[in-house]
Amino acid sequence: MKPNSTEMIDEEQLLKELRNPQTVRNGFAKLVSEYSERLYWQIRKMVLSHDDANDVLQDVFIKVWTNLDNFRGESKLSTWLYRIAINESITFINKKRTQNNISLDEDDSFLIHTLESDTYFDGDEAQLKLQKAILTLPEKQRLVFQMKYFEEMKYDDMSEILGTSVGALKASYHHAVRKVEKYLEEPL
């Protein structure tokens, strides 16, 4: 996980603030400030639309706020936040599938339409083709590919966030890369 500033936040100090009733609001403001951008981009890679990503990000922070007392510290705070962001993104995508009467067995081509109609997408044709290639991947492979390729996340961190073995993640990433490369080799 790449920090968005030159220094990583001290998670232990932040947790102390979050667990203290006198400093919880200040700690939460720091948490939002520190993690908003990184979580936004993780969510955006999954839901594609800027507006949808903002909505999901709000849902993430609401869930974090209401579940602060349930965080037991068995994982890093950042891992917990990513897990919530990913789960909220998947929930959002599944709601979109339901709204569009798309079964879980069908592909996510509706996301390609979302990408193409997003006025905030400012990529060139090659970037659009890469995003379309990524959208052809099964959901889990797509998630692993995005976390490894774009976030440069370590397999150990992904394993903790996704609850999947490192070996399975490496295999999933390898298969995803091959599929993306094959898609990109096809003529525009």
pLDDT score of 175 more than 80:
yes
pLDDT in tens, 59-83: 999 999 999 999 988 889 999 999 9
CA distance 150 to 176: 13
Q: Where are the domains of the chain?
A: 1-110, 123-188
The verdict on domain 123-188 having CATH code 3.90.1150.10 is no
148: Cβ contacts below 8 Å, ≥ 6 apart:
155, 158, 169, 173
pTM over 0.85: no
Length of the chain: 188
Compute the Cα dihedral for 10, 8, 79, 38 and give only its sign. Answer: positive
Sign of CA dihedral 82, 88, 90, 93: negative
- 1-110: what CATH class? mainly alpha
> pLDDT for 144-166, tens place per residue?
998 998 888 999 999 999 999 99
